[in-house]
Copies of this chain bind each other. A is one copy, B any other.
Amino acid sequence: VKSIRLLDYVPEGLPGPEHFDIVTEIFNFEESLVNLTPDSVIFRAQVFSADPYLRNRMKAGRHLDPLIPGEIIKGYTAGVVIASKNDKWQVGDYYGANLPLKTITILSGEALSKSLVWKLPSIINDLNISYGIGVLGMPGSTAYGGLIDVLRPLQGETIFISAAAGAVGGLVGMLAKSLLNCRVIGSCGGESKVNLVKEKFGFDHAINYKNIGSKEELIAALREVAPEGIDMYFDNVGGMHLEAALELLRVRGRIAICGQIVDYNSKEMANVPFSPWKMIYTQQRIEGFLCSDWLVGKKGNFHRDMPKFVIDGKVIVEETVFEGIESWPLGFQSLFTGGNTGKVVIRV
Protein backbone atom coordinates (compact mmCIF):
# COMPACT_ATOMS: atom_id res chain seq x y z
CA VAL A 1 0.00 0.00 0.00
CA LYS A 2 1.35 3.39 -1.05
CA SER A 3 0.58 6.90 0.15
CA ILE A 4 1.63 10.50 -0.52
CA ARG A 5 2.97 12.76 2.20
CA LEU A 6 3.88 16.43 2.26
CA LEU A 7 7.44 16.79 3.59
CA ASP A 8 7.15 20.39 4.78
CA TYR A 9 5.08 23.51 4.18
CA VAL A 10 5.83 25.35 0.94
CA PRO A 11 5.06 29.02 1.71
CA GLU A 12 5.56 30.18 -1.87
CA GLY A 13 6.62 29.01 -5.34
CA LEU A 14 5.74 25.92 -7.32
CA PRO A 15 5.93 22.68 -5.31
CA GLY A 16 7.77 19.82 -7.06
CA PRO A 17 8.61 16.17 -6.46
CA GLU A 18 11.16 17.25 -3.83
CA HIS A 19 8.36 18.43 -1.54
CA PHE A 20 6.56 15.08 -1.41
CA ASP A 21 7.32 11.59 -0.23
CA ILE A 22 5.75 8.43 -1.62
CA VAL A 23 5.68 5.93 1.24
CA THR A 24 5.29 2.17 0.73
CA GLU A 25 3.94 -0.06 3.50
CA ILE A 26 3.29 -3.79 3.57
CA PHE A 27 -0.40 -4.71 3.31
CA ASN A 28 -1.65 -8.22 3.87
CA PHE A 29 -5.11 -8.49 2.32
CA GLU A 30 -5.95 -11.94 3.77
CA GLU A 31 -4.97 -10.89 7.26
CA SER A 32 -6.95 -7.63 6.98
CA LEU A 33 -9.93 -9.62 5.77
CA VAL A 34 -9.79 -12.00 8.74
CA ASN A 35 -9.53 -9.10 11.19
CA LEU A 36 -12.21 -6.95 9.53
CA THR A 37 -14.61 -5.67 12.20
CA PRO A 38 -18.39 -5.46 11.68
CA ASP A 39 -19.49 -2.53 9.45
CA SER A 40 -15.95 -2.04 8.13
CA VAL A 41 -15.08 -1.69 4.44
CA ILE A 42 -11.81 -2.00 2.50
CA PHE A 43 -11.47 0.50 -0.34
CA ARG A 44 -8.90 0.16 -3.11
CA ALA A 45 -8.09 3.45 -4.82
CA GLN A 46 -7.72 3.38 -8.61
CA VAL A 47 -7.17 7.09 -9.17
CA PHE A 48 -5.91 10.04 -7.12
CA SER A 49 -6.86 13.60 -7.87
CA ALA A 50 -4.57 16.63 -7.98
CA ASP A 51 -6.47 19.87 -7.48
CA PRO A 52 -5.40 23.52 -7.21
CA TYR A 53 -7.08 24.08 -3.82
CA LEU A 54 -4.49 21.77 -2.20
CA ARG A 55 -1.80 24.36 -2.90
CA ASN A 56 -3.13 26.64 -0.16
CA ARG A 57 -3.23 23.82 2.34
CA MET A 58 0.52 23.45 1.80
CA LYS A 59 1.05 26.85 3.44
CA ALA A 60 1.15 26.86 7.24
CA GLY A 61 -1.80 28.71 8.69
CA ARG A 62 -3.00 29.94 5.30
CA HIS A 63 -6.12 27.83 5.45
CA LEU A 64 -8.61 26.78 8.08
CA ASP A 65 -7.66 23.18 7.37
CA PRO A 66 -3.93 23.00 6.47
CA LEU A 67 -2.13 19.78 5.60
CA ILE A 68 0.21 18.45 8.25
CA PRO A 69 3.81 17.73 7.14
CA GLY A 70 4.67 14.07 7.52
CA GLU A 71 1.04 12.98 7.46
CA ILE A 72 -0.68 11.56 4.41
CA ILE A 73 -2.17 14.25 2.16
CA LYS A 74 -5.96 14.23 2.27
CA GLY A 75 -7.48 14.61 -1.16
CA TYR A 76 -10.02 13.27 -3.64
CA THR A 77 -9.77 9.70 -4.85
CA ALA A 78 -11.98 7.05 -6.45
CA GLY A 79 -11.84 3.28 -6.70
CA VAL A 80 -13.57 0.04 -5.85
CA VAL A 81 -14.65 -1.81 -2.71
CA ILE A 82 -12.60 -5.00 -2.27
CA ALA A 83 -14.09 -6.21 1.03
CA SER A 84 -17.10 -5.22 3.11
CA LYS A 85 -18.86 -6.12 6.33
CA ASN A 86 -21.15 -3.13 5.86
CA ASP A 87 -24.72 -3.52 4.53
CA LYS A 88 -24.42 -0.33 2.51
CA TRP A 89 -21.32 -1.38 0.57
CA GLN A 90 -20.81 -4.47 -1.63
CA VAL A 91 -17.59 -5.80 -3.10
CA GLY A 92 -17.28 -4.29 -6.57
CA ASP A 93 -19.05 -1.04 -5.69
CA TYR A 94 -17.31 1.99 -7.13
CA TYR A 95 -16.82 4.96 -4.82
CA GLY A 96 -15.59 8.54 -4.78
CA ALA A 97 -14.10 9.96 -1.60
CA ASN A 98 -12.14 12.64 0.19
CA LEU A 99 -9.61 10.60 2.15
CA PRO A 100 -5.90 10.45 2.90
CA LEU A 101 -4.29 9.56 -0.45
CA LYS A 102 -3.48 5.90 0.19
CA THR A 103 -3.97 3.04 -2.24
CA ILE A 104 -5.77 0.84 0.32
CA THR A 105 -8.03 2.31 3.02
CA ILE A 106 -9.84 0.36 5.71
CA LEU A 107 -12.68 2.30 7.34
CA SER A 108 -14.75 1.18 10.33
CA GLY A 109 -18.48 1.91 10.31
CA GLU A 110 -17.84 4.85 12.58
CA ALA A 111 -14.98 6.20 10.47
CA LEU A 112 -17.16 5.82 7.37
CA SER A 113 -19.98 7.83 8.90
CA LYS A 114 -17.52 10.65 9.56
CA SER A 115 -15.87 10.53 6.14
CA LEU A 116 -16.94 11.88 2.77
CA VAL A 117 -17.36 8.70 0.69
CA TRP A 118 -20.09 8.39 -1.93
CA LYS A 119 -21.25 5.59 -4.18
CA LEU A 120 -20.69 6.11 -7.89
CA PRO A 121 -23.54 5.34 -10.33
CA SER A 122 -23.89 2.24 -12.50
CA ILE A 123 -22.29 3.90 -15.53
CA ILE A 124 -18.92 3.65 -13.75
CA ASN A 125 -16.41 0.87 -14.50
CA ASP A 126 -12.64 0.32 -14.30
CA LEU A 127 -12.11 2.38 -17.43
CA ASN A 128 -14.01 5.52 -16.46
CA ILE A 129 -13.44 5.39 -12.69
CA SER A 130 -11.69 8.76 -13.06
CA TYR A 131 -15.15 10.33 -13.40
CA GLY A 132 -15.33 9.84 -9.62
CA ILE A 133 -12.67 12.51 -9.12
CA GLY A 134 -13.92 14.58 -12.04
CA VAL A 135 -17.35 15.11 -13.49
CA LEU A 136 -19.02 12.97 -10.79
CA GLY A 137 -16.81 14.25 -7.98
CA MET A 138 -15.42 17.47 -6.59
CA PRO A 139 -14.93 19.40 -9.88
CA GLY A 140 -18.33 18.27 -11.17
CA SER A 141 -20.13 19.36 -8.02
CA THR A 142 -18.22 22.65 -8.09
CA ALA A 143 -19.34 23.39 -11.65
CA TYR A 144 -22.91 22.21 -10.94
CA GLY A 145 -23.40 24.13 -7.68
CA GLY A 146 -21.51 27.21 -8.78
CA LEU A 147 -23.43 27.52 -12.02
CA ILE A 148 -26.92 26.37 -11.11
CA ASP A 149 -27.28 27.59 -7.52
CA VAL A 150 -24.73 30.38 -7.15
CA LEU A 151 -24.86 32.08 -10.56
CA ARG A 152 -28.47 30.97 -11.32
CA PRO A 153 -28.38 31.68 -15.08
CA LEU A 154 -31.39 32.79 -17.06
CA GLN A 155 -31.87 31.42 -20.58
CA GLY A 156 -29.55 33.07 -23.05
CA GLU A 157 -27.51 35.16 -20.62
CA THR A 158 -23.82 35.80 -21.23
CA ILE A 159 -21.29 34.02 -19.01
CA PHE A 160 -17.53 34.51 -18.83
CA ILE A 161 -15.41 31.67 -17.42
CA SER A 162 -11.70 31.72 -16.60
CA ALA A 163 -9.51 28.60 -16.74
CA ALA A 164 -12.02 27.41 -19.31
CA ALA A 165 -9.89 24.45 -20.41
CA GLY A 166 -9.56 23.23 -16.82
CA ALA A 167 -11.52 20.58 -14.96
CA VAL A 168 -14.14 22.96 -13.55
CA GLY A 169 -14.25 25.75 -16.13
CA GLY A 170 -14.91 23.39 -19.04
CA LEU A 171 -17.85 21.77 -17.26
CA VAL A 172 -19.32 25.15 -16.29
CA GLY A 173 -19.30 26.28 -19.91
CA MET A 174 -20.77 23.04 -21.24
CA LEU A 175 -23.58 23.10 -18.65
CA ALA A 176 -24.31 26.78 -19.29
CA LYS A 177 -24.56 26.02 -23.01
CA SER A 178 -26.46 22.75 -22.92
CA LEU A 179 -28.85 23.46 -20.03
CA LEU A 180 -29.48 27.19 -20.40
CA ASN A 181 -28.38 28.14 -23.89
CA CYS A 182 -26.06 30.80 -22.53
CA ARG A 183 -23.60 32.74 -24.60
CA VAL A 184 -20.38 31.25 -23.24
CA ILE A 185 -17.03 33.04 -23.31
CA GLY A 186 -13.93 31.32 -21.95
CA SER A 187 -10.42 32.40 -21.15
CA CYS A 188 -7.53 29.95 -21.32
CA GLY A 189 -3.79 29.85 -21.94
CA GLY A 190 -2.66 28.99 -25.47
CA GLU A 191 -4.09 28.43 -28.93
CA SER A 192 -4.56 24.67 -28.56
CA LYS A 193 -6.71 25.29 -25.49
CA VAL A 194 -8.67 27.94 -27.38
CA ASN A 195 -9.42 25.29 -30.01
CA LEU A 196 -10.35 22.68 -27.41
CA VAL A 197 -12.71 25.05 -25.65
CA LYS A 198 -14.41 26.18 -28.85
CA GLU A 199 -14.43 22.97 -30.88
CA LYS A 200 -14.82 20.24 -28.28
CA PHE A 201 -16.54 22.08 -25.40
CA GLY A 202 -18.73 24.23 -27.67
CA PHE A 203 -17.96 27.64 -26.17
CA ASP A 204 -19.04 30.56 -28.35
CA HIS A 205 -15.79 32.46 -27.84
CA ALA A 206 -12.43 31.80 -26.27
CA ILE A 207 -9.73 34.30 -25.36
CA ASN A 208 -6.08 33.29 -25.14
CA TYR A 209 -5.01 35.24 -22.06
CA LYS A 210 -1.35 34.64 -22.91
CA ASN A 211 -1.80 37.29 -25.61
CA ILE A 212 -3.28 39.73 -23.07
CA GLY A 213 -0.96 42.07 -21.19
CA SER A 214 -3.24 43.97 -18.83
CA LYS A 215 -6.69 44.31 -17.35
CA GLU A 216 -7.46 46.98 -19.95
CA GLU A 217 -6.53 44.65 -22.81
CA LEU A 218 -8.67 41.90 -21.36
CA ILE A 219 -11.60 44.31 -21.04
CA ALA A 220 -11.13 45.29 -24.69
CA ALA A 221 -10.99 41.64 -25.79
CA LEU A 222 -14.16 40.87 -23.85
CA ARG A 223 -15.97 43.91 -25.22
CA GLU A 224 -15.25 42.67 -28.71
CA VAL A 225 -17.24 39.47 -28.14
CA ALA A 226 -19.66 40.85 -25.51
CA PRO A 227 -20.23 44.51 -26.39
CA GLU A 228 -23.12 44.70 -23.92
CA GLY A 229 -21.10 43.23 -21.06
CA ILE A 230 -21.48 39.98 -19.14
CA ASP A 231 -24.26 38.74 -16.88
CA MET A 232 -22.12 36.22 -15.00
CA TYR A 233 -18.49 35.50 -14.28
CA PHE A 234 -17.27 32.17 -12.97
CA ASP A 235 -13.92 32.98 -11.40
CA ASN A 236 -11.27 30.28 -11.15
CA VAL A 237 -8.22 32.52 -11.27
CA GLY A 238 -8.70 35.96 -9.66
CA GLY A 239 -6.41 38.89 -10.45
CA MET A 240 -6.79 40.63 -13.80
CA HIS A 241 -9.64 38.34 -14.85
CA LEU A 242 -11.73 39.21 -11.80
CA GLU A 243 -11.04 42.92 -12.16
CA ALA A 244 -12.02 42.89 -15.84
CA ALA A 245 -15.20 40.95 -15.03
CA LEU A 246 -16.18 43.47 -12.34
CA GLU A 247 -15.78 46.19 -14.95
CA LEU A 248 -17.95 44.41 -17.53
CA LEU A 249 -20.62 43.08 -15.19
CA ARG A 250 -24.10 44.18 -16.20
CA VAL A 251 -27.18 45.11 -14.19
CA ARG A 252 -28.17 42.17 -11.94
CA GLY A 253 -24.83 40.55 -12.73
CA ARG A 254 -23.37 37.78 -10.56
CA ILE A 255 -19.84 36.60 -9.85
CA ALA A 256 -19.17 33.15 -8.40
CA ILE A 257 -15.73 33.02 -6.82
CA CYS A 258 -14.42 29.49 -7.02
CA GLY A 259 -10.63 29.84 -7.19
CA GLN A 260 -7.82 32.39 -7.19
CA ILE A 261 -5.12 30.33 -8.84
CA VAL A 262 -2.96 33.33 -9.84
CA ASP A 263 -2.15 33.74 -6.14
CA TYR A 264 -1.80 30.15 -5.00
CA ASN A 265 1.98 30.06 -5.32
CA SER A 266 2.36 33.48 -3.64
CA LYS A 267 2.91 34.02 0.05
CA GLU A 268 -0.08 36.36 0.36
CA MET A 269 -3.43 36.28 -1.36
CA ALA A 270 -4.16 39.58 -3.09
CA ASN A 271 -7.09 41.84 -2.32
CA VAL A 272 -9.17 43.13 -5.22
CA PRO A 273 -10.88 46.55 -5.25
CA PHE A 274 -14.61 46.68 -5.89
CA SER A 275 -17.17 49.46 -6.09
CA PRO A 276 -19.89 48.98 -3.46
CA TRP A 277 -21.74 51.90 -5.00
CA LYS A 278 -21.87 50.29 -8.43
CA MET A 279 -23.08 47.06 -6.80
CA ILE A 280 -26.06 48.92 -5.35
CA TYR A 281 -27.44 50.63 -8.41
CA THR A 282 -26.70 47.61 -10.62
CA GLN A 283 -27.98 45.14 -7.99
CA GLN A 284 -24.92 42.93 -8.36
CA ARG A 285 -23.80 39.98 -6.28
CA ILE A 286 -20.37 38.49 -5.54
CA GLU A 287 -20.41 35.09 -3.87
CA GLY A 288 -17.63 32.77 -2.74
CA PHE A 289 -18.47 29.09 -2.49
CA LEU A 290 -17.17 25.59 -1.86
CA CYS A 291 -18.53 22.46 -3.51
CA SER A 292 -19.25 20.60 -0.28
CA ASP A 293 -22.96 21.52 0.01
CA TRP A 294 -23.66 19.90 -3.38
CA LEU A 295 -21.18 17.05 -2.99
CA VAL A 296 -22.80 15.92 0.27
CA GLY A 297 -26.32 16.48 -1.08
CA LYS A 298 -27.26 19.40 1.16
CA LYS A 299 -28.16 21.54 -1.86
CA GLY A 300 -29.35 20.58 -5.34
CA ASN A 301 -29.29 17.02 -6.61
CA PHE A 302 -25.82 16.60 -8.02
CA HIS A 303 -25.54 12.82 -7.63
CA ARG A 304 -28.80 12.28 -9.52
CA ASP A 305 -28.42 14.99 -12.18
CA MET A 306 -24.79 14.82 -13.24
CA PRO A 307 -24.72 11.16 -14.38
CA LYS A 308 -27.75 12.00 -16.56
CA PHE A 309 -25.94 14.97 -18.05
CA VAL A 310 -23.00 12.66 -18.89
CA ILE A 311 -25.25 10.01 -20.47
CA ASP A 312 -27.17 12.64 -22.45
CA GLY A 313 -23.94 14.18 -23.74
CA LYS A 314 -24.65 17.52 -22.09
CA VAL A 315 -21.09 17.42 -20.79
CA ILE A 316 -18.03 15.82 -22.38
CA VAL A 317 -15.19 14.50 -20.24
CA GLU A 318 -11.69 15.82 -20.91
CA GLU A 319 -8.73 14.45 -18.92
CA THR A 320 -4.97 14.62 -18.65
CA VAL A 321 -3.81 11.28 -17.24
CA PHE A 322 -0.59 10.64 -15.31
CA GLU A 323 0.44 7.03 -14.73
CA GLY A 324 1.54 5.82 -11.30
CA ILE A 325 1.40 7.34 -7.85
CA GLU A 326 4.98 8.59 -8.27
CA SER A 327 3.70 11.01 -10.94
CA TRP A 328 1.32 12.76 -8.52
CA PRO A 329 3.70 15.71 -7.90
CA LEU A 330 4.04 16.23 -11.67
CA GLY A 331 0.29 16.08 -12.12
CA PHE A 332 -0.08 18.63 -9.37
CA GLN A 333 2.54 20.90 -10.98
CA SER A 334 0.75 20.78 -14.33
CA LEU A 335 -2.22 22.62 -12.76
CA PHE A 336 -0.04 25.70 -12.35
CA THR A 337 2.07 25.48 -15.51
CA GLY A 338 -0.85 25.04 -17.88
CA GLY A 339 0.30 21.50 -18.64
CA ASN A 340 -3.17 19.98 -18.37
CA THR A 341 -6.45 20.13 -20.19
CA GLY A 342 -9.54 19.07 -18.29
CA LYS A 343 -9.20 16.95 -15.20
CA VAL A 344 -5.78 15.87 -13.94
CA VAL A 345 -6.00 12.16 -13.13
CA ILE A 346 -3.29 10.09 -11.49
CA ARG A 347 -3.82 6.36 -12.08
CA VAL A 348 -2.40 4.44 -9.12
Footprint of B on A, CB under 8 Å?
Answer: 56, 63-64, 235, 238, 242, 257-260, 263, 269, 271-290
Contacts and interface: CB of A to CB of B under 8 A. Distances in A.
A70 to B, nearest CB: 24
Q: Which of A56, A238, A284, A288 has the most CB atoms of chain B within a 10 A radius of its CB?
A: A288
B272 A283 contact: no
Q: What is the oligomeric copy number? A: 2
B269 A238 contact: no
Given A63-B281, A272-B274, A283-B290, 20 more contacts: A238-B276, A238-B277, A257-B279, A258-B280, A259-B280, A260-B276, A260-B280, A269-B276, A269-B277, A271-B275, A272-B276, A276-B286, A276-B288, A278-B288, A280-B289, A283-B289, A284-B287, A285-B287, A286-B287, A287-B287
A136 to B, nearest CB: 22
A260 B277 contact: yes
Nearest to A62: B277
A271 B275 CA distance: 5
A190 B235 CA distance: 42
Nearest to A242: B276
Contacts of A56: 277
A72 to B, nearest CB: 22
Contacts of A258: 280
18 contacts: A56-B277, A63-B281, A235-B276, A257-B276, A257-B280, A260-B277, A269-B275, A269-B276, A269-B278, A273-B274, A274-B286, A276-B286, A279-B287, A279-B288, A280-B288, A281-B288, A282-B288, A284-B288
A249 to B, nearest CB: 11
Contacts of A278: 269, 288
A280 B290 contact: yes
A275 B276 CA distance: 14
Contacts of A275: 269, 271-272
A286 B283 CA distance: 10
A286 B278 CA distance: 12
Nearest to A64: B281
B276 A273 contact: no
A298 to B, nearest CB: 12
A269 to B, nearest CB: 4
9 pairs of A and B residues whose beta carbons are closest in the complex? A279-B288, A271-B273, A269-B277, A280-B288, A285-B287, A286-B286, A260-B277, A257-B276, A284-B288
A314 to B, nearest CB: 26
A272 B246 CA distance: 13
A285 B152 CA distance: 14
B290 A281 contact: yes
A143 to B, nearest CB: 15
Contacts of A285: 285-288
A278 B63 CA distance: 9
Contacts of A283: 288-290
Contacts of A276: 235, 238, 242, 257, 260, 269, 272, 286, 288
